[in-house]
Structure 1
Amino acid sequence: MFTYNHTTVSRLPPMSEENEAEGPYAVVMAPTRVLAQQIEEETNKFAKHLGIRVVSIVGGQSIEEQGFRIRQGCEVVIATPGRLIDCLERRYPVLNQCNYAVLDEADRMVDMGFEPQVMGVLDAMPSSNLKPKNEDEELDEKKIYRTTYMFSATMPPAVECLARKYLRNPVVVTIGTAGKTTDLISQHVMMVKESEKFSRLQRLLNELGDRTAIVFVNTRKNADNVAKNLDKAGYRVTTLHGGKSQEQREISLEGFRTKRYNVLVATDVAGRGIDIPNVAQVINFDMHGSIDTYTHRIGRTGRAGKTGVATTFLTLSDSDVFYDLKQMLIQSNSSVPNELARHEASKFKPGSVPDRPPRRNDYVFAH
Structure 2
Amino acid sequence: METRRVPPDVAALLRKAKAEEAAASKPRFIPKKERERLEAEKKAKEEEARRRHEEDLLKNAAAFDRAVTNGPSRTNGANGPNGTYKSRSAQRDIPTGPKAMRPSGDSGDHRHDAKRARPNDDDHKRIEMERHDEAELRARYMGPEVNRSTFSANKKRRRTAANKFNFDWDADDDTSRPFDPIYANRPDPLFRLAGYDMSDELVQRKAEAIRRGDPETGEERARQLLEQHERVKQQAGRKNLGKHWSEKKLEDMKERDWRIFKENFGIATKGGAIPDPMRSWQESHLPRRLLDIVHNVGYDEPSPIQRAAIPIALQARDLIGVAVTGSGKTAAFLLPLLVYISELPPLNEVNKNDGPYALILAPTRELVQQIESEARKFATPLGFTVVSIVGGHSLEEQAYALRNGAEIIVATPGRLVDCLERRLLVFTQCCYIIMDEADRMIDQGFEEPLTKILDALPVGNEKPDTEDAENPQLMSRYLGGKDRYRQTMMYTATMPPLVEKIAKKYLRRPAIVTIGNAGEAVDTVEQRVEFISGEDKRKRRLQEILNSGQFKPPVIVFVNIKRNCEMVARDIKSWGQSTVTLHGSKTQEQREASLASVRNGQSNILVATDLAGRGIDVPDVSLVVNFNMPSSIEAYTHRIGRTGRAGKSGVAITFLGNEDTDVLYDIKQIISKSSISKVPEELRRHESAQSKPTRGGGQKKLEDSGGFAGKGGSWQ
Give, in whole Å, the separation in 2 of the partners of 1:172 and 1:87. 32
- Residue 177 of structure 1, CA deviation: 1.5
Indicate the structure whose relative CO is greater, using CA pairs within 8 Å and at least 6 residues apart.
1
- Which structure carries more strand by proportion? 1
Give runs of aligned pairs for residues 55-204 of structure 1, distance below 5 A.
55-136=387-468, 139=474, 141-143=477-479, 144-194=484-534, 195-204=536-545
Q: Which moved more, 1:219-228 or 1:17-26?
A: 17-26
Task: Supply the distance in 1 between the matched residues of 2:401 and 2:575 (Cα, whole angstroms).
Answer: 46
The amino acid that maps onto 1:145 is Y
The aligned amino acid for 2:488 is T
Give the match's secondary structure for 1:149. strand
After superposition, the Cα gap between the structure-2 partners of 1:157 and 1:348, relative to the gap in structure 1 and judged at 3 Å, is: same
What aligned pairs does 1:11-50 form with structure 2 within 5 A after superposition?
A: 11-50=343-382
Which consecutive aligned stretches of 4+ in structure 1 deviate over 4 angstroms post-superposition? 1-7
Q: CA separation in 1, counterparts of 2:600 and 2:388?
A: 25
Q: Which amino acid aligns with 2:382?
A: L
Q: Output the CA distance in 2 between the equivalents of 1:351 and 1:308.
A: 33
Q: 1:210 to 1:332 in 2, by over 3 A?
A: closer
2:391·2:588 contact (CA, 8 Å) conserved in 1?
Answer: no
1:345 pairs with one of 688, 698, 705? 688
Distance (whole Å) between structure 1 residues aligned to residue 466 and residue 403 of structure 2: 37
Other structure's SS at 2:467 match: coil
Tell me the CA shift for residue 72 of structure 1.
Answer: 3.1
Would the alpha carbon gap of residues 324 and 343 (structure 1) be closer, same or farther in structure 2, given more than 3 Å must change? same
Q: State the one-letter code of the partner of 2:371.
A: I
1:115 Cα shift?
1.2
Q: 2 CA distance for matches of 1:190 and 1:264?
A: 21
Checking the alignment, whether the CA contact within 8 Å between 2:478 and 2:485 is kept in structure 1 is no
Q: What 5-or-longer segments of structure 1 have no aligned partner?
A: 354-367
Q: Which residue is 2:229 aligned to?
A: none
Query: Contact 1:275–1:300 (CA<8 Å) still a contact in 2?
Result: yes
For residue 187 of structure 1, give the secondary structure of its aligned residue in structure 2: strand
Matched to 1:75, the amino acid is E
In 1, Cα distance between equivalents of 2:375 and 2:468: 35
* Distance in 1 (alpha carbons) for counterparts of 2:538 and 2:422: 49
Query: Using the alignment, how far apart are the partners of 1:184 and 1:282 within structure 2?
Result: 13
User: Could you tell me which of 542, 563, 568 is aligned with 1:221?
Assistant: 563
RMSD (Å) for aligned C-alpha atoms: 1.9
Counterpart Cα distance in 1 of 2:373 and 2:478: 33
Is the aligned partner of 1:265 residue 2:265? no
Tell me the equivalent position of 1:365.
Answer: none
Question: Does the 8 Å contact 1:4/1:147 carry over to 2?
Answer: no
Q: Are the equivalent residues in 2 in contact too, given 1:54–1:78 (CA < 8 A)?
A: yes
CA contact (8 A) 1:71 1:92 kept: no
**Corresponding letter in the other structure for 1:146:** R
SS at match of 2:414: helix
Specify the alignment match of 1:207 in structure 2.
Answer: 548
Greater helix content:
2
Give the C-alpha shift of residue 352 in structure 1: 5.8
Matched-pair contact (CA < 8 Å) for 1:25–1:99: yes
Are the counterparts in 2 of residues 240 and 270 from structure 1 also a CA contact under 8 Å? yes
Q: Which 10-residue stretch deviates more, 193-202 or 182-191?
A: 193-202
SS at match of 1:127: coil
Contact 1:285 1:312 in 2 (8 A): yes
Q: Which residue of 1 aligns with 2:384?
A: 52
Distance in 2 separating the partners of 1:207 and 1:301 = 19
TM-score of the aligned structures, taking structure 2 as reference length? 0.48
Deviation at 1:3, TM superposition (A): 5.1
Q: Which amino acid aligns with 2:669?
A: Q
Structure having the higher Rg: 2
Asked if the contact 1:282–1:297 (Cα under 8 Å) also holds between the matched residues in 2, the reply is: yes
1:284 aligns with 2:626: yes
**One-letter amino acid of the structure 1 residue matched with residue 492 of structure 2:** S
Q: Which moved more, 1:252-261 or 1:333-342?
A: 333-342
What is the CA-CA distance between 1:142 and the residue it aligns to? 2.9
2:657 aligns to what?
315
SS of the residue aligned with 1:203?
helix
Determine if contact 1:191/1:337 at 8 Å carries over to the other structure: no
Q: Is the 8 A contact 1:3 1:9 kept in 2?
A: no
Whether the 8 Å contact between 1:320 and 1:345 is mirrored in structure 2 is yes
Q: Distance in 2 between matches of 1:50 and 1:4?
A: 21
Verify: 1:329 aligned to 2:671, yes or no.
yes
Distance in 2 separating the partners of 1:67 and 1:221: 34
CA contact (8 A) 1:271 1:296 kept: yes
From 558, 581, 587, the counterpart of 1:239: 581
Count of residue correspondences: 353
Give the AA of the match of 2:467: E
How far apart are the structure 1 equivalents of 2:432 and 2:358?
A: 4
Gaps (5+ residues) in structure 2? 1-309, 317-335, 697-716
SS where residue 279 of structure 1 aligns?
A: coil
Q: Deviations over 1:125-167 (max 9, x none)?
A: 1122121101147636333211112111111111111111111
The two structures have a TM-score, normalised by structure 1, of 0.91
Q: What is the deviation of 1:71?
A: 4.4
1:74 is paired with a residue of what secondary structure? coil
Task: Show CA shifts across 1:312-349 (max 9, x none).
Answer: 00001111111111111122253223332223222222
The answer on whether the counterparts of 1:193 and 1:315 sit within 8 Å (CA) in structure 2 is: yes
| Aligned mates of 1:117, 1:67 — CA distance in 2 | 20
